[in-house]
Chain A
Amino acid sequence: MASLEFEIPELFKNIQTPAINPGVMEGSGPFVAKPDHQEPLGFPGELVENWERKAVDAMGEAVDNSRALRVFLDSCVKCGACTDKCHYYLGSSDPKNMPVARQDLFRSVYRKYHTPAGKFLSKLGLEWLIGGQEMNKSVLDDWYNYYHQCSECRRCSVYCPYGIDTAEITMAARDIMAKIGVGQKYSNEIIGKVYKIGNNLGLPEPALRNTLEGLEEDIEDETGVVVRLPLDEKGADILLVTPSADFFAEPHVDGLIGYAKVFHEAGVSWTISSKASEAANFGLFIGNNENMRKIALRIREAAIDLGVKRIIFGECGHAWRVAYSYLNTLAGPFDFLDPAYPVPQHICEFTHDLIQGGKLNLDPSENDWMTLTFHDSCNVARASRMGDIPGGQFSIPRDIIKSVCNNFVDMAPETIHEATFCCGGGGGLLTDDLIEVRVKGAMPRMTALRNVIEEDGVTHMAAICAICKSQFSKVLPVYGMGMDMIVSVHQLVSSALILTGQDTESVPESD
């Protein structure tokens, strides 16, 4: 990691709001999608002719079709409440990473071309009075750069007096850019893989089957109990849809082992689908509802093909947002599933219910060698729910952790729950070509984590999001902390869960 060619933010005792440093994060943004990445998604291969006009028209169309966009673009009074809320601003000090300034890259063009005041003042050459701006190459460059320094985490929307959500504007801007031929390689390439193979990692069915069998062997070796990880089993009760990182990345895969053990102990039949072997839906990140719907429909098709009664999602942040908030709208109605269960369910809800009902034999002392804290993932915290009451997305994962671990400490209140800071890698930024913004954006979370390490002896941080887990594995070492500090919640469950028939004597010490 010594090769990083930028300044790594210093961690202070408190998260500092920096003075503005215009231009420090200027750049060319992430790699641009090639025609091969663009076309399968229905986007033009390269920058189209007359793109300025087409972008302005696409903006008009976007605003006509989204009440959120229209209200958000009209309503901002530039009060400044959001200016110190974005982790990318706090970590980089580039003022264009302040939510309102990021929005204004878009709003300035909207004002000039799509408002009566802007059209009128433009005729007099006075659009600058109201912050109007022409759509030109330098604006497009700023869009591409700074709309890929937003993780669509919605922290700003918590604090805005009008609830303006920069994520909606980032999504609209990315969608417009893709439609004029300037898409992001990382996200679009991945969506292409989902269409072609079924998951983000391009893991084909035989490889997936092989992996799952390997995991079954691992569990049997460790516990002496045969725990199955079924693939494409028709007639199973539950379809598990989980991010493909769970199939082999660390610490994700330990979480998958945890789900399998929990299902086993619950005595339910379940299956993974090779067709919908991916919970992630990057259609959300690129702000394109057609692609998001198409990706979501795979899950519906898989559920019908396999004849399941319930759908449960694994640990994934934005996937849970799409599942919880949108799946019913995009791919519903799910009247063919068992109406006794919510559609969909989160694996944490499932496990939590079992723990509440005393159905799991847990030995939290297995995790005594760790002191845990919990990172609320942004899309779970601010764009979804678990359980029946608002805030269940905060209490349910913590309840689970406390049931399986004796040592748990929360980070500072202004950095958790709805105020949680993004890991720095969400929203389609989890790519090496964006490492600088990822490292800088992680500063607030790293600060809060380091404080509980020093004050409360925290040794590990649990998360329920594949992106968070991957991002932390990468940035923790940059900040001088261990990459294996990050763990899956169901990894903790897995360690504490004593399977029926498990020979407890032969359980090897946890690493």
Chain B
Amino acid sequence: MNLFFAITFWFATAVITLGLAFKVRQYWKTEAPLLIPTTPAPTTQRGVVLRMIREVTLFESLFKANKWIWLFGWMFHFSLLLVLARHVRYFQEQPWFWVTLIQPFGKYAAYTMILGLAGLLLRRIVVDRIRYISSPSDFLMLIMLLVIGFSGLIMQLFDRPDIVGIQNYFVNLTSFNVVDLPINTALVVHLLLVAFLLIIFPFSKLLHAPGIFFSPTRNQADNAREKRYQAR
């Protein structure tokens, strides 16, 4: 098991890193032949940066579109951010100050994350329009994230594994050493699904994460008359 998880996580890390690097490079290199910002759009680069910050922190467009999807989606994403931040400690012998500081918040974020995911799943099942556009993978993605969340919660509440041992294992993985991983069932499920998620990231709709930064309707300035636009 020790070696299996070591290889799995090394592989998964390589796949997501190289995969995302490839995709980002591909987005970067692909020409945007014409200016297509959705207007009204900022007329300056600075304005574009602000628009993008609003999009990725507040989900501005989604807020305009649908308050329920916005609520569940925003709740899920920012809970996930906190949860991920909390997990940074598994890769540090001496966690940074802020990582220690957010531990309790990250703990509760698990609940809001699950709530957000459940809301999204419920809408996918109940709203006929969204059910119609959903592929099996869209359901599986949500279910997978829910299982990851629940298995984490189970470890937190009922089946506490040896946190220090896990921390030691992953710290060592980062310098390519394999030591003992103290496992239990919830942990195995948790880790397997997380590794799978990392692996499918660059091949799935999770590409929306880097994608939004390259979306021409959001990242182009509305300055066609002021400056002649030419793709490269």
Contacts and interface: CB of A to CB of B under 8 A. Distances in A.
A75 B215 contact: yes
Nearest to A324: B224
B129 A98 contact: yes
B61 A160 contact: yes
Contacts of A325: 34-36, 224
B206 to A, nearest CB: 8
Interface residues of B, number: 60
Contacts of A168: 36
Contacts of A129: 135-137, 140
A85 B34 CA distance: 25
Interface string B123-160: 11001111011111110100000000000000000000
B224 A79 contact: no
B38 A83 contact: no
A163 interface: yes
B200 A117 contact: yes
A390 B42 contact: yes
A17 B65 CA distance: 13
Interface stretch (A24-32, A64-72, A242-250, A470-478): A64-72
Nearest to A418: B40
B46 interface: no
Given A76-B208, A80-B69, A325-B34, A159 B61 contact: yes
Interface string A389-430: 111011000000000000000000000001000000000000
B214 A104 contact: no
Contacts of B133: 78, 80, 83, 95, 98, 100-101, 104
A157 interface: yes
Contacts of B120: 79
A115 interface: yes
A85 B62 CA distance: 12
A20 interface: yes
A47 interface: no
A333 B35 CA distance: 15
A: interface residue count bin: 35 or more
A504 interface: no
B205 A329 contact: no
B216 A98 contact: no
Contact of B129 (A71, A72, A83, A389): A83
A83 B66 CA distance: 10
Given A157-B38, A333-B228, A77 B217 contact: no
A355 to B, nearest CB: 21
B39 A382 contact: yes
B138 to A, nearest CB: 5
A390 B222 CA distance: 8
A154 interface: yes
Contacts of B66: 80-81, 84, 159
Given A77-B208, A131-B135, A390 B73 contact: no
User: Looking at B55, B65, B120, which has the most chain A CB atoms within 10 Å of its CB?
Assistant: B65
A20 B128 contact: yes
B215 A391 contact: no
A80 B35 contact: no
A383 B61 CA distance: 16
A115 to B, nearest CB: 7
B58 to A, nearest CB: 10
B45 interface: no
Contacts of B33: 65-66, 289, 329
Contacts of B208: 74-77, 161-162
B177 interface: no
A70 B30 contact: yes
A385 interface: yes
A117 B196 CA distance: 14
Contact of B69 (A20, A81, A165): A81
B26 interface: yes
A508 interface: no
Contact of A324 (B65, B204, B225): B225
A72 B128 CA distance: 23
Interface in B20-70: 23, 26-27, 30-36, 38-43, 55, 59, 61-62, 64-66, 69
A55 interface: no
Interface in B96-142: 120, 123-124, 127-130, 132-138, 140
Given A66-B32, A79-B62, A342 B205 contact: no
B212 interface: yes
A333 B230 CA distance: 10
Contacts of B132: 20, 22, 95, 98, 101
B69 A68 contact: no
Contacts of B230: 329
A80 B129 contact: yes
A343 B225 contact: yes
B218 interface: yes
A81 B71 CA distance: 12
B216 A71 contact: yes
Nearest to A342: B225
Contact of B216 (A17, A63, A68, A332): A68
A381 B39 contact: yes
Given A75-B205, A115-B203, A324-B224, A162 B39 contact: no
B6 to A, nearest CB: 25
A71 B211 contact: yes
A384 B39 contact: yes
Contacts of A328: 224-225, 228-229
Interface in A303-357: 324-326, 328-329, 332-333, 342-344
A206 interface: no
A332 B214 contact: no
B229 A329 contact: yes
Contacts of B183: none
User: Looking at A63, A101, A385, which has the most chain B CB atoms within 10 Å of its CB?
Assistant: A385
Interface of B: 23, 26-27, 30-36, 38-43, 55, 59, 61-62, 64-66, 69, 73, 120, 123-124, 127-130, 132-138, 140, 200, 203-205, 207-208, 211-212, 214-218, 222, 224-226, 228-230
22 contacts: A66-B32, A67-B27, A67-B31, A68-B32, A72-B215, A76-B205, A81-B66, A83-B133, A95-B132, A98-B133, A116-B203, A159-B64, A160-B65, A163-B55, A289-B33, A328-B224, A328-B225, A328-B229, A329-B35, A329-B224, A389-B43, A418-B40
Given A117-B200, A159-B62, 4 more contacts: A75-B207, A159-B65, A329-B224, A383-B38
